[in-house]
Amino acid sequence: MIAEVQNVYKKLGRVQALAGVSLEVNEGELLALLGPNGAGKTTLVSLLVGLRAPDAGRISLGGGDPRQPSSRRILGVTPQNTGFPPALRVHEVIDLARAHYPNPPGTEEILRRFDLADLAKRNVNALSGGQARRLAVALAFSGSPRLAVLDEPTTGLDVESRRALWEQIVRFKREGGTVLLTTHYLEEAEALADRVVVLARGRVLTEGSPDEIKRRVGLRRVRFAAATLPDLSGVKKVEREGDRYTLWTANADALVRELVLSGAEFSDLEVLPVSLEEAFLAVLDGEVSA
């Protein structure tokens, strides 16, 4: 275990941002922290990286207090909002970040891995939003950290850049690194995470692997094309797009048998699990227990 949060409370002004949150970050895993806006994700991240102190509870980072510089040496961080020294060029910003660590990778390697080599001599003020975001994420890996904390790392990136960044995150984990990731992109969490923690209103609602959380929903999707939808039992939710129907049910086998016996004409039948996004919404709606 590389980091631990034990029954932590934190108030920001009059808002109770965290109300008894406990979680563990295990060495070598990618943990995705999910939740709606205002759930407490960024507050929790700020506590883990030592930028704030909890009002109550305990936080451990590498066995020490994250507010101590010696504990933070294992960290690489990409915050939601990043500002760079305006007079510096891209390679100089990376050099500045590397200087804080004992065994950093070479600047050229970082530039290459994060597709910044062609921008190395460009002033940071001349970067586009996506380029600046790639630089911000590159800085999290510039010191060979044991734990990379990435707060909404792919916000503002196009699909190609996002996928390229996913590859570097997976590579870091494959080489033994640990990642704590917050994201609003549920497909990102589903593609990358070993484990997911869902926060809302400052509390942990549920946690587990993406597959475990999807199984807790207890529903599957039955899709087919039909001119009309026959009267079927056990349907929890229906969506229609043109002549295609998607039905949510707890017993897909029984629903398909009933559909066949109804005599209705249909085609292109599919039976699918719910997505992580659908499971996430079910958690927020209180349909899934921890």
What pLDDT was estimated at residue 216? 79
Mind listing the domains of the chain with CATH numbers?
3-214 (3.40.50.300), 219-273 (no CATH)
Q: What is the DSSP letter of 80?
A: S
Angle between the 276-284 and 210-217 helix axes, to the nearest 10 degrees? Answer: 60
Which band of pLDDT confidence, cut at 50, 70 and 90, is reported for residue 217? confident
pLDDT over 60 (residue 290): no
What pLDDT was estimated at residue 287? 53
Which band of pLDDT confidence, cut at 50, 70 and 90, is reported for residue 258? very high
Average pLDDT over residues 258-272: 92
CA 36 from centroid of its chain's CA atoms: 12
DSSP letters of 95-137? HHHHTTSSSPPPHHHHHHHTT-GGGTTSBGGG--HHHHHHHHH
Where would I find the beta strands (DSSP E) of the chain? 3-12, 15-25, 30-34, 56-61, 75-78, 147-151, 178-182, 195-200, 203-208, 220-225, 235-241, 244-249, 267-273
Average pLDDT over residues 31-54: 92
pLDDT, tens only, 184-205: 888 888 889 999 999 999 999 8
Which residues lie closer than 8 Å to 153 by C-beta, 6 or more apart? Answer: 78, 133, 136, 137, 140, 165, 169, 181, 183
Which residues lie closer than 8 Å to 45 by C-beta, 6 or more apart? Answer: 33, 79, 149, 151, 180, 182
What pLDDT was estimated at residue 3? 95
What pLDDT was estimated at residue 275? 80
Q: What is the average pLDDT value for the chain, to the nearest integer?
A: 90
Q: How far apart are CA 130 and CA 160, in angstroms?
A: 11
Which band of pLDDT confidence, cut at 50, 70 and 90, is reported for residue 159? confident
Contact status, residue 85 vs residue 96, Cβ threshold 8 Å: yes
- Enter the tokens of residue 77: 């961080």
Q: What percent of the chain has pLDDT over 90?
A: 62
Which band of pLDDT confidence, cut at 50, 70 and 90, is reported for residue 85? confident
**Angle (CA) 26 203 196, round 5°:** 40
What pLDDT was estimated at residue 212? 86
Q: Tell me the pairing of strands 15-25 and 147-151.
A: unpaired
**Where does 49-202 have alpha helices with state H?**
69-72, 90-98, 107-113, 129-140, 159-174, 186-192
Average pLDDT over residues 76-99: 90
Q: How far apart are CA 78 and CA 137, in angstroms?
A: 5
